[in-house]
Amino acid sequence: MLLLTPFAAAPWALSTDSPILLGAVSFVALLLLVIIFIGKVPLSYNLMNLRVRWMTTLMTAGAFTLVVWVQTFMLAFVNGMYAMTDSTGQPGNILILSEGSTDETFSNLGFADATDLETQEGVLKVDGKALVSRETYLNVVQPIPDPKPGRPMRRFLQVRGVDEPSLSAQVHGMKLQAGSEWFTDAGVREVGKTGETAIEVVLGDGIARDLGADRKRDVLALAKNNSRLDVGEMFDVGGRQWVVTGVMEPTGSLYDSEIWTKQSQIGALFGKPNYTTFAVRADPDFRKDQRESFLESRRQKAEEAYRKALAEREADPTLPKPTLEVIKRPTSDDAWGAELLRDYFANEYTKSRFSPQVETTFFSAMTATNLQFLIAILFLCFIMSLGGVFGVMNTMFAAITQRTKDIGVMRLLGYKRWQILVSFLFESVMLAILGGLVGCALGSLVDGYTASSVVSGGPGGGKFIVLRMTVDFSTLAMGMLLAVVMGFLGGLIPSLSAMRLTALEALR
């Protein structure tokens, strides 16, 4: 259930047991209790005015609706990006790139590197076989068949060449959908009667949908699956035909945007015979007895580096302010194994120079673009919300001017100043809540839609992805919070001015 599923992906994530959320809800509930049962605030008068002046109510709430809807829609996009980067990677995996590489595209690893690596103690072995996926990652340019006028003629495909697909799938936790199978050892098959061959591929669910949209109407009419490419269908890349042997189950990860094929086929086709990446599953029991000392040693190194950076900053105040690296305790045996293995390859393994990273950390770091979009969206939504605040302020000032006599009568009836304040604030916040609810409802309609984007950790490299827009509990909570804050701020000054009216002034 969308509304009830907490989903802690993005920075604004609130889970249902979040103290912030519980505190806010408790405060509002208490306030309502005081207002309704203790405060004797003339709420029915405010509700009646909202009903009687329905046109004004609708227009003011409409403005809130639009602001909240835009925020919800944009946050759903960024949420999808965070969900993708955060859910990519197995906690027990490390990714090994060549030294100095921060991106798979620029990494270059040899055959001999893999052979020796597989014999290392910390690498998990199942039935005597090391769980090491040898991979070549490429960004391939594909001309788009029959591009629409004014649209680009090419797209970029993330292609991953692997030696043993079932082993790679085991390492990455990927599964095939029903009716699919992995590509053969040869990685090619004959298609047609003239002996022409096609490269066998398995598609991620997201890219299968993107490529599926290229199909012409007549092909689509005969297709097994209208929404995506399916087993047996073909497409052109690199001057060759590629045939789909399977589609992977969607995982919400970056691998959903990838095309997997035989490394020997694409290495030769694109002039990249070497590997770029080794994905290694760590033995969860690797150096189990050294866990605490490892953690302590990392903490000490982090503190030392921090003290050194502080001293350097004291000598040169122009240096950026240092931050203490937070060393998180791994929460599972898999994660412990991965951290210890990463440390081994980074500091002790000398036969080759690698750049090892825990897989989940590697992909989580690809949030630089996410953060940039998030900041931009929050900035624009903040400015739009200022517009909403001024708008409701305008409405409330007008309402108070028109109802000055009502205020005078209420004062004569014994309502105190603070009750007048709360009364008009309540009206303003109710307008905001009404608009916010409709805005959230409209914004939630985008949940599940796919969109394209790019994620990267910084300059150079990056992955073109197909993400799923995600409207979750946190996003809706942010929308309602925005609406309530706008309503509160917009109604505050007019309510204060209403509060200051004396009965005499009001009735004059």
Where does this chain bind another protein (CB under 8 A)? 55-56, 59-60, 62-63, 66-67, 69-70, 73-74, 77, 98-102, 105-106, 108, 138-141, 151-156, 237-239, 269-272, 318, 320, 346, 355, 372-373, 376, 380, 383-384, 386-388, 390-391, 393-395, 397-398, 401-402, 451-454, 458-460, 464
Q: Least distance in Å: CB of 289 to another protein?
A: 26
- What are the angstrom distances between the C-alpha of 6 and each of 12, 70, 136, 250? 12, 21, 36, 20
Considering beta carbons, is residue 155 or 291 the nearer one to another protein?
155
Considering beta carbons, is residue 284 or 457 the nearer one to another protein?
457
Please spell the DSSP secondary structure of 302-319, one letter per residue: HHHHHHHHHHHHHH-TTS
Q: Least distance in Å: CB of 313 to another protein?
A: 13
Considering beta carbons, is residue 74 or 358 the nearer one to another protein?
74
- What are the angstrom distances between the C-alpha of 160 and each of 168, 175, 227, 237, 261? 10, 16, 23, 14, 6
Considering beta carbons, is residue 154 or 224 the nearer one to another protein?
154
Considering beta carbons, is residue 382 or 418 the nearer one to another protein?
382
C-beta of residue 202 within 8 angstroms of C-beta of residue 248: yes
Helix (H, G, I), strand (E, B), or coil: what is residue 500?
Answer: coil
Q: Least distance in Å: CB of 460 to another protein?
A: 6
C-beta of residue 199 within 8 angstroms of C-beta of residue 261: yes
Q: Least distance in Å: CB of 390 to another protein?
A: 4
Q: Least distance in Å: CB of 89 to another protein?
A: 21
Q: Where are the beta strands (DSSP E) in 113-212?
A: 125-126, 129-130, 132-143, 154-162, 188-190, 197-203
Considering beta carbons, is residue 173 or 238 the nearer one to another protein?
238
Cα angle 31-389-56, degrees, rounded to a multiple of 5: 90
Considering beta carbons, is residue 155 or 416 the nearer one to another protein?
155
Eight-class DSSP state of 151: S
Terminal CA-CA length for the chain: 56
Contacting residues for 463 by C-beta, under 8 A, at least 6 apart = 158, 254, 257, 366, 454, 455, 456
Q: Least distance in Å: CB of 398 to another protein?
A: 4
C-beta of residue 101 within 8 angstroms of C-beta of residue 33: no
Structure tokens at 336: 């412990």
Q: Least distance in Å: CB of 31 to another protein?
A: 27
